[in-house]
Amino acid sequence: MNVVVFSTQQHDREHLVPALVAAGMTPRLQVERLTADTVHLAHGADVVCVFTNDDLHRRVLDGLADQGVHVVALRCSGYDNLDVDRARERGMRVARVPAYSPNAIAEHAVALLMTLNRRVHIAWDRTRRGDFRLDHLTGFDLVGRPVGVVGTGRIGQAFARIMLGFGCQVAAHDPYPNGELQAAGVEYLELDALLARSDVLSLSCPLTRANRHLINADTLARLPRGAVLINAARGALVDTDAAEAALDSGQLGGLAMDVYEDEASLFFRDWSLSGLPDRRLARLMQRDDVLVTGHQAFLTHEALTNIADTTVSNLTTLHQDPDAQPEGRVV
């Protein structure tokens, strides 16, 4: 089986490629992300393997199907980059990795929160230059702090439990409350009520058409003044312009994000020599009250191993049996 792997990175070479080879597959690695301009690179492939910022909308799916590629393995959990209806129309078979390590994402969200709150990023930059002053490094205790969690799937559950371990007052918003979390002390609230009481708000829900820019000027205004927002879910859940304005006014006290709504053509690349072409993101990254990482929350050995194993299983199953229903099949 010839597999074209788009958006290939170092960790793919270390984890995914050996798993593909061990399964008897022949990987062809492409550093470029899959777009309408690069879909021709799938020529001669039996299947393609893509990541979170690869484009699986109409033109790309048509390009794949026209080349005889009808199997796509997403090595990620989200599939908001997929035109499901068009994939079905073209007879595409698509599967994802529904769960690899929710703890990896949740723990990274906590790392972002702790770093931003205790100004670790600022202190690290200062001390390596020999500056040990404590000016403007004051944070707040998490114990007893009201923390809101939007979305309590596997990742949200893991984050909520960590926050309970810190002694926080944890509340959540999700159309499907989790009984085990409720028993552990998590209160489920409507979104407005959750926003009004959350000194810390963490997003861990999938991106849908309905919740794009869920966090916007109106919802940000409902947070307690000076609240901290953590987003390790999907970038487009947050209206970045509104968040920047809230930071400027002091309504938002801090923003930490592992994702960005316009990250597709930016993340997973080195802009250190040429300069970041996104002026808004560059501007945000100059602020002490903003912390940005480049969509790395999933990046643990455990998660990468799970991703590789599930991806190989999905490719094998879908390629051999068009009617098979492997874990995570989308179409």
- Which helix (H) or strand (E) segment holds residue 109: the answer is helix 102-117
Give the DSSP per-residue string, 177-226: --HHHHHHTPEE--HHHHHHH-SEEEE-----TTTTT-BSHHHHHHSPTT
Cα angle for residues 266, 258, 130 (degrees, 5° grid) = 95
- Which helix (H) or strand (E) segment holds residue 150: the answer is strand 146-150
> Is the distance from CB of 198 to CB of 171 less than 8 angstroms?
yes
For the question of residue 187 being annotated catalytic, the response is no
For the question of residue 13 being annotated catalytic, the response is no
Cα angle for residues 231, 138, 141 (degrees, 5° grid) = 65
How long a stretch of residues is the chain?
331
Residue whose entry in the numeric block shows the structure tokens 């039996």: 46
- Separation between Cα atoms, residue 308 and residue 162, nearest integer Å: 27
- Which helix (H) or strand (E) segment holds residue 291: the answer is strand 290-292
Q: Which amino acid is at 52?
A: T
Q: Among 263, 269, 319, 327, which one carries the catalytic annotation?
A: 263
For the question of residue 263 being annotated catalytic, the response is yes
Q: Among 15, 197, 234, 319, which one carries the catalytic annotation?
A: 234
Q: How many CA atoms lie within 13 A of 142 on its CB side?
A: 22
> Is the distance from CB of 311 to CB of 73 less than 8 angstroms?
yes
Q: Among 70, 173, 197, 295, which one carries the catalytic annotation?
A: 295
> Is the distance from CB of 253 to CB of 288 less than 8 angstroms?
no
Q: What is the dihedral of CA 302, 308, 314, 315, to 10 degrees?
A: 180
Known catalytic residues? 234, 263, 295
